[in-house]
Structure 1
Amino acid sequence: MEGHREVLDRQNLLNEANNEFNSHHWKRAEDLYTEFIDICMASGERDSNDLAIAFNNRGQVKYFRVDFYEAVDDYSAAIKANRQFEVAYYNRGLIRYRLGFFQDAESDFKKALEINANFEDARLSLHQTILDCEEKTRRGY
C-alpha cells in the first residue's frame, strides 16, 4: 500500500511531465513520463487514468519523432491501462492509417466513437479511412 507522500510525489512527477509536454520540451517530457510509468509499474498501479495519459503522451512524443511502431506500443499500453480512453484509440488509429493498415485504423476509430460519439476528429478520420481502403481495394493494392 502506497503512502500519501508516494502518491503525491508521483502526481507531481506527472504534472511536471505534462508541463514539459505542453511546453514542447519533448525529450524532457518523454524522460519524465518514462519515470512516472516505471514507478507506476513497479508499484503495481497498472490500471489508471494517469498511467493511460502518461503512455498516451509519451506515445505522442514518439509520434513526433516518427517512431511510429514505438508510439503504437505506447498507445496500446494506454488503452490497456484505461479501456475507455478514446484519445489513445484515435491516436493509434492515426498511425495505423498512416502506415496503410486501414482495417486496424478503422477499428480504432470506431472504438473511439463507441466511447465518445461526439469525437468529430475520429468521425472524420473514420470516413477518410473507409474511402482510402475502398480506393486501395479498387486499385488492387
Structure 2
Amino acid sequence: MAQEAAELLSAAQAELAARRLSAAEELYNRFIALSPAGARRDLATALNDRGQVRYLQVEFAAALQDYTAAIECQPGFEVPYYNRGLVRYRLGVAPESTVFSTSNWLPDTSGECLAQVLTMSLGNHTPVPFIGVWLLQSPDTEGDFDEAMQDFRKVLELNPQFEDAALSLKQAILDKEEKQKRGY
C-alpha cells in the first residue's frame, strides 16, 4: 500500500508539472484517501500540491482549505503558508474571487479597452490585470491583506531565506497602505 501511495503521489506531481490539472487533482484525491498513517510529510505535500491545482483552476476557497490542511498536517512546512498567503493577498485585491477571464476577448495588449468596459459597468470596483484574467478590487479587503502578511511572516520565521515571501510581504504592506490612502 505504501508503494501504491508513493506511485500515486509521483504520478500526481508529474501531471501537475505537465499542467494536466484534472488528472493531477484526481491522483492527489486518491493519494490523500490512501495516505498511510505516519506519512504526514507526503500528505502535507499532496494537500499543498492539490491546493496549487485548485489555485490554478481559480478555485480559491478550495485552495485555501487545502493549504490550511497541509499546515495542520505539518506546521513546520513553509510552502503552504506561502501559497495560502498568496491566495489571501489575491483576495485582498479581489474579494469573493471575482474574476473575469480575458481568454474569449480579442487581444488587447494594453488591456485599456477591457479596463474601460469593466470600469463603466462595475461601479466602484476597480479592474486589475492578473495573469490572463481581470480581478476586481473592492473596498473591504483589509483583513485579507492582514492574513496574507501573517502567513508571509510565518514563512520567514520558518525559513528566513525564503526571498519570495519577503518580497510578497513587502508588496502586501505597500498595497494595503495604498488602499488605505485611497480610502478603501
- TM-score scaled by length of structure 1: 0.89
> Is the strand fraction higher in 1 or 2?
2
Q: Per-residue CA shift, 1:20-51, capped at 9, x if unaligned?
A: 111211111100001111112xx5x3761100
Q: Please provide the CA RMSD for this pair.
A: 1.3
Give % identity: 50
Residue 85 (structure 1) aligns with: 77
**In the superposition, relative to structure 1, how do residues 129 and 46 fare at CA in structure 2: closer, same or farther (>3 Å)?**
farther
Residue 74 (structure 1) aligns with: 66
For residue 124 of structure 1, what is the amino acid of its counterpart? L
Residue 8 (structure 1) aligns with: 3
2:152 to 86, 109, 122: 109
Answer whether contact 1:78 1:88 (CA < 8 A) is retained.
Answer: yes
Answer whether contact 1:17 1:33 (CA < 8 A) is retained.
Answer: yes
1:120-135 aligned within 5 A: 120-135=163-178
Structure 1 spans left out of the alignment, 5+ residues: 1-5
Take 1:133 and 1:8, find their aligned partners in 2: how far apart are those partners? 47
Take 1:54 and 1:47, find their aligned partners in 2: how far apart are those partners? 11
Residue 30 (structure 2) aligns with: 35
Take 2:40 and 2:163, find their aligned partners in 1: how far apart are those partners? 25
**In the superposition, relative to structure 1, how do residues 77 and 93 fare at CA in structure 2: closer, same or farther (>3 Å)?**
same
The Cα shift of 1:114 comes to 0.6
The Cα shift of 1:138 comes to 2.2
Answer whether contact 1:56 1:74 (CA < 8 A) is retained.
Answer: yes
Residue 45 (structure 2) aligns with: 53
**In the superposition, relative to structure 1, how do residues 47 and 111 fare at CA in structure 2: closer, same or farther (>3 Å)?**
farther
Structure 2 spans left out of the alignment, 5+ residues: 93-143
Take 1:23 and 1:116, find their aligned partners in 2: how far apart are those partners? 28
In our comparison, the structure showing a higher alpha carbon Rg is 2
> Is the helix fraction higher in 1 or 2?
1
Runs of 4+ in 1 over 6 A off after TM superposition: none
2:12 to 14, 17, 27: 17
